[in-house]
Amino acid sequence: MRTLRLFLVHLSPVTRAVVRAAARKAFPTAEIVEVGTLAEVGPAGRAYRSELLVLVEPDAVSAAQAVQVVDASGFARWAVVLLGGDSADLAETVPPEEWQPALLARVFRSAVAQHELGRENLRLQGDLKTVARRIRHDLGAPIGCIGASSHVVRVSLAPAALRSVVEMVQNIEDSSAEISEIVDRVSFLLRASADPEPPAPVAMAAVVAEVLRQLEPEIQKAGAEVTCPASWPEASGVARWLHVIWWNLLQNALRHGGPAARVRLAWTPDGEGYRFTVADRGAVLEPYALAGLFRPFDQLHLLPAPGLGLSIVQRLVALQGGRCGYERLEEGASVFFFTLPGGKAGHHSGPAGSRIRRRQSPSDVEPVSGGG
């Protein structure tokens, strides 16, 4: 069974020899079909993994039609190479002066390889979207049922119930909540990776204020203090992705910043964009721990027991054209940072929350305190 078929459209006596020689050089076992027009090309054959369409001196209409043909899966049916013509913006185009068998063979192979990679990328994107949707909807309901049921059982237990039974039910409730959180976070990241959103101007003050509001119970419980700049810049990104980034970095600082953590949020210009930081005075990270920070999500299977938070941050920052990292300052502060392209030049938004007073300098701060 042949795995590739070539359609050669509108060959002339002058071009036939060189194009067929190039086709044979590129794919010795492929089936070669010559037709006069694009309309004469038959339906897709199931016996072929890939198809290559070569049009000689096509008009603009034929070239446009060729690249729009899709198969039963909705993917582009074939790789397209145009020999001559003026449609380089549509497909790989080779001018007449470069019509040599060896060069055309390389072009044919490259076009087929790019076509197959493109189809595989679309399939993987579809897989990610399917997995994200199924785990979110198919697992969400039963996990929620387990959590709700265990909560009802726990509050219904008689005061004389065995301590071990109470702890067991509490563990079930806590575990279901943890599983639900993991499902939500993984599903969110898969959707973001499979279907990236275009960047737009984002008022960072509003994003940070909402994150601080959601984390207020944790801030109060930890007796932590969070300080913010008096104003924030407008960056270019995706607001809901930035919400997740700040939430993860702040929660990380609250959990690992030590007793009564002092967390400082800040920003500085960074080339044509901005550098955002979350600093705390938690324990110094060991070298082995540093190696795992911001490990890309697709590499987490290489770690023994990886956390999700910083990997999610890394992926979302990268999708927005930024970078992230960690550094330890001489005065002992641990700083987690990420960068983003700038929004409107020189535009700054107000404070992140009503408890932070607006001041002239972005470095002036007033704490959002949870006690301590």
pLDDT digits (tens, 9 = 90+) for 34-46: 999 998 988 876 6
Question: Which of 122, 142, 167 marks a domain boundary?
Answer: 122
**pLDDT bracket for residue 372 (50, 70, 90):** very low
| Residue pair 277/334 in contact by the 8 Å Cβ criterion | no
Q: Check: CB of residue 297 under 8 Å from CB of residue 189.
A: yes
Burial (CB count <10 Å: 0-12, 13-18, 19+), residue 122:
middle
Mean pLDDT of 146-175: 87
Residue 296 makes CB contacts below 8 A (sequence gap 6+) with: 311, 314, 315
Is there a single domain that holds both residue 118 and residue 129? no
Q: What angle do CA 226, 232, 236 make, to 5 degrees?
A: 120
Higher model confidence: residue 47 or residue 340?
340
What are 322-366's pLDDT values in tens digits? 999 988 876 677 899 999 998 664 456 555 543 332 222 333 344
From the CB of residue 322, how many other CB atoms can be counted at a distance below 10 Å? Answer: 23
Asked if residue 278 has pLDDT above 70, the reply is yes
Q: Are strands 324-328 and 348-349 parallel, antiparallel or unpaired?
A: unpaired
Whole-angstrom distance, CA of residue 53 vs CA of residue 66: 8
Instruction: Tell me, yes or no, whether 64 and 181 share the same domain.
Output: no
d(CA 122, CA 117): 9
Q: Are 143 and 51 in a shared domain? A: no
**Highest mean pLDDT: which range of 181-185, 319-323, 360-364:** 319-323
Task: Using the Cα atoms of residue 249, residue 252, residue 256 and residue 262 in order, give the sign of their dihedral.
Answer: positive
Number of domains present in the structure of the chain = 3
Is 290 in the same domain as 159? no
Contact 243, 188 (CB under 8 A): no
Tokens of 146: 């387990």
Average pLDDT on 255-281 reads 90
Q: What is the residue-wise DSSP string for 75-127?
A: SB-SEEEEESSS-TTTSEEE-GGG--HHHHHHHHHHHHHHHHHHHHHHHHHHH
* Single residue among 99, 122, 145 that ends a domain in this structure: 122
Model pLDDT, residue 350: 59
Pairing of strands 225-229, 365-369: antiparallel
On average, the pLDDT of the chain sits at: 84
Final residue before a domain boundary, out of 122, 139, 159:
122
Pairing of strands 79-83, 92-94: parallel
Q: 261 is in which domain, residue-wise?
A: 200-369
Asked if 94 and 207 sit in the same domain, the reply is: no
Q: Does 262 lie in the same domain as 354?
A: yes
Q: Indicate the burial class of 308 (C-beta count within 10 angstroms; 0-12, 13-18, 19 or more).
A: middle
Percent of the chain residues past pLDDT 90, beyond the cut? 44
Are 312 and 364 part of one and the same domain? yes
| Same domain, yes or no: 226 and 316 | yes
Interhelix angle 239-256/204-222, nearest 10 degrees: 30
The CATH code of the domain that includes 114 is 3.40.50.2300
275-293: average pLDDT: 75
CATH of residue 281's domain is: 3.30.565.10
- What's residue 361's pLDDT? 32
Task: For residues 223 and 317, state if they share a domain.
Answer: yes
| β-strands 225-229, 262-270 pairing | parallel
Range of weakest confidence among 45-59, 96-110, 190-204: 45-59
Q: Residues 251, 358: one domain?
A: yes
- Residue 356 is classified by DSSP as S
**Residue 69 burial by Cβ neighbours in a 10 Å radius (0-12, 13-18, 19+):** middle
Instruction: Write down the H helix ranges in 157-238.
Output: 163-194, 204-222
Mean pLDDT of 98-121: 94
Domain match, 21 and 31 both: yes
The pLDDT of residue 355 is: 39
Model confidence at 204: pLDDT above 50: yes
> pLDDT at position 284, please?
67
Q: How far apart are CA 234 and CA 342, in angstroms?
A: 7
Comparing 17-26, 100-109, 291-300, 342-351, which segment has the lowest mean pLDDT?
A: 342-351
Q: Does position 212 have pLDDT exceeding 90, yes or no? A: yes
Task: Grade residue 296 by pLDDT with cuts at 50, 70 and 90.
Answer: confident
**Do residue 306 and residue 361 come from a single domain?**
yes
pTM: 0.73
pLDDT at 285: 67
CB 323 within 8 A of CB 338: yes
Cα separation, 238 vs 193, whole angstroms = 13
